[in-house]
Structure 1
Amino acid sequence: MATPTKVEFDVQMTCQSCASAVENALKGAEGVHSFSIDLPTEQVVVETTLPSAKVQELLESTGRRAVIKGMGQAHLGAAVSQMSGFGRSAVQGVVRFVQLSEKKVAIEGTIDGLTPGLHGLAVHELGDLSQGCDSCGDHFNPTNSCHGGPGDQERHVGDLGNVLADARGRAEFRMEDERLKVWDIIGRSLVVHSGKDDLGKGKDASSKQDGSAGPGLACGIVARSAGLFQNPKKICTCDGVSLWDERDVPLAGPGRRQQCSL
């Protein structure tokens, strides 16, 4: 059974009818276990087994903007990887890691620009993007094990299996893992691959090494992120962009002086 995660959002709410609209959007929604709404602080905390992007869609179905502020339990740790494609790849996404307990981590995210179908996802040992995904190294494998799937007894710690992209090229997913630990992967990288990971079940020798999922399409360094109630940001200190407008500004380039923390 999936373990619910608490996710903290800031939601644009200026009146009681705003709060009522948010309540109606969340009430009875499948995968939403409980929620609390604080109108004066514009804060909504949702306990859910849904990917945070799905909850954000529910909140924004009310016509109000919602921004994720934190996840999980503050003392256990959380991390995020903002993934970008290199070269001709237009794949991009955000994947979050939340330590639910000492033994279990939740991994959830959204990746866009994929071809429909299954794509291998893995934590790699190096946080080196100097040559794109080619410089991320091998799968994170501190136990020197053979490659496998998330449910296998023997596997790389970084083996996360496959994510399924729909007809739009979007993969939305949430999984739980008892091998991966947030504190072990900070500074490493997350890579989504061009093809399906065979989970170590292939016939050739490479199957036990990396699953033959093909080259990386997009990757990102795994960085520490805010846990629940740890992110008080309303204005981005690097360029003065407001919380609500931040999504409309490029993460880097001419439209922004400096990339901001997530």
Structure 2
Amino acid sequence: MLASKLEVLVDFGPKLDQNVLDKTLNMLKSQDGIQEAVFKDGAIMVETTLPSTQILNIVTQTSGKRAVLQGFGDTQSAVSMISSQSCCGTNVLGVVRFQQTPEGSLIADGCIDGLTPGCHGLHVHEVGDLSQGCKSIGEHFNPLSATHGAPNDPVHKRHAGDLGNICADESGRATFRIVDNVLKVWDIIGRSVAVTERKDDFGRGSSPESRIDGDSGSPVACGIIARSAGVFQNPKRICACDGVVVWDEKNRPLAGKGRREETKEKRCCKKETHNDVVKPCCRV
């Protein structure tokens, strides 16, 4: 199975505890599905066939420190922040990351919370238009005008955007890692990805909708697909615009209310004034 390279940034503090680092690396190396785990340039680089969420859980639980995924893949990558967009009476949130592998396949890796337990369809849609929430993202991405199908179907018998199903546990969380041989990262940047209310039947059902969308129902959450950083391509630790540190950023909206609540790190980062010009002290 194809492996992904992950750059995991860990909040070790001002002084690295070598014992904690060694314990974390040894735990990672002991796991099936992890091919390599090394400390490099201030981060842990992991080569693995496991979902990134599982890697972050291992690092967090073993080290007792906060951890974030700073880079995904060593080739062209993309990311989508999934949310219910206030469209569906639900509170679904998550992230899907895409990596184009040197072998030609695409890896879709993600974690989505707030789903009803069970399986849900995951599809790339034509456009990245959220002006009407998930209602304005268009149909499934389907450049060959094919009928709806399963991810393993021939290219002319499935939509390019048909990624199959992801399954949520009893808590409503779906953690997944999909390898697809049709989609390419450069074809989906600027489009959108959505998760649906029901399981995708892969076009094998008896209803008219089966050949259209797998009778999977309406999207319950969606997000625009944007370029993202690969391993060691993103040096950011603090957002220069508002001082939010990388550790807190993953739990906050990208903008608006709730973004700029003070943290310990931000309170220590005051603005300096020189010749009536205000300079932020936070570094990128």
Cα shift at 1:64: 1.1
Letter in 2 for 1:133: C
Q: 2:247: which partner in 1? A: 244
Q: 1:260: which partner in 2? A: none
Letter in 2 for 1:234: R
Letter in 2 for 1:151: N
Q: Aligned partners of 1:186, 1:94: CA distance in 2, in Å?
A: 15
Task: Give matches, 1:67-216, under 5 Å.
Answer: 67-74=68-75, 77-85=76-84, 86-87=86-87, 88-101=89-102, 103-153=104-154, 154-216=157-219
Please point out which of 24, 27, 41 is paired with 2:26. 24
What are the ranges of 5 or more consecutive residues in structure 2 without an aligned counterpart? 261-284
The alignment status of 1:46 with 2:46, answered yes or no, reads yes
Q: 1:9: which partner in 2? A: 8
- State the TM-score, normalized to the length of structure 1: 0.92
Identity percentage of aligned residues: 51
Q: Aligned partners of 2:144, 2:244: CA distance in 1, in Å?
A: 44
Deviations 1:12-61 (A, max 9, x none): 232211211211321211211111113xx431000001111110001001
Q: Aligned partners of 1:256, 1:120: CA distance in 2, in Å?
A: 31
SS at match of 2:27: helix
Distance 1:248 1:139, change over 3 A: closer
Is the Cα contact below 8 Å between 2:28 and 2:58 reproduced in 1?
Answer: yes
The number of equivalent residue pairs is 253
Letter in 1 for 2:169: D
Q: 1:57: which partner in 2? A: 57
What are the ranges of 5 or more consecutive residues in structure 1 without an aligned counterpart? 258-262
Is the Cα contact below 8 Å between 1:56 and 1:67 reproduced in 2?
Answer: yes
Task: Give matches, 1:216-235, under 5 Å.
Answer: 216-235=219-238
Distance 1:71 1:25, change over 3 A: same
Q: 2:263: which partner in 1? A: none
Deviations 1:179-204 (A, max 9, x none): 00000000000000000111010123
Is the Cα contact below 8 Å between 2:5 and 2:46 reproduced in 1?
Answer: yes
Letter in 2 for 1:96: R
SS at match of 1:205: coil
Cα shift at 1:248: 4.4
SS at match of 1:73: coil
Is the Cα contact below 8 Å between 2:37 and 2:46 reproduced in 1?
Answer: yes
Larger C-alpha radius of gyration, 1 or 2?
2
Is the Cα contact below 8 Å between 2:207 and 2:215 reproduced in 1?
Answer: no
Letter in 2 for 1:43: A
Q: Aligned partners of 1:130, 1:244: CA distance in 2, in Å?
A: 30
Q: Which has the higher contact order (CA 8 A, sep 6+)?
A: 1
Cα shift at 1:254: 2.1
Letter in 1 for 2:22: S
Tell me whether 7-16 or 163-172 shows the greater mean CA deviation: 7-16
Q: 1:36: which partner in 2? A: 38
Q: Structure 1 segments of 4 or more deviating over 4 A?
A: none
SS at match of 2:170: coil
SS at match of 1:190: strand
Superposition RMSD on alpha carbons, in Å? 1.5
Letter in 1 for 2:54: K
Deviations 1:52-99 (A, max 9, x none): 11100010012011111112123xx10001000123210111000001
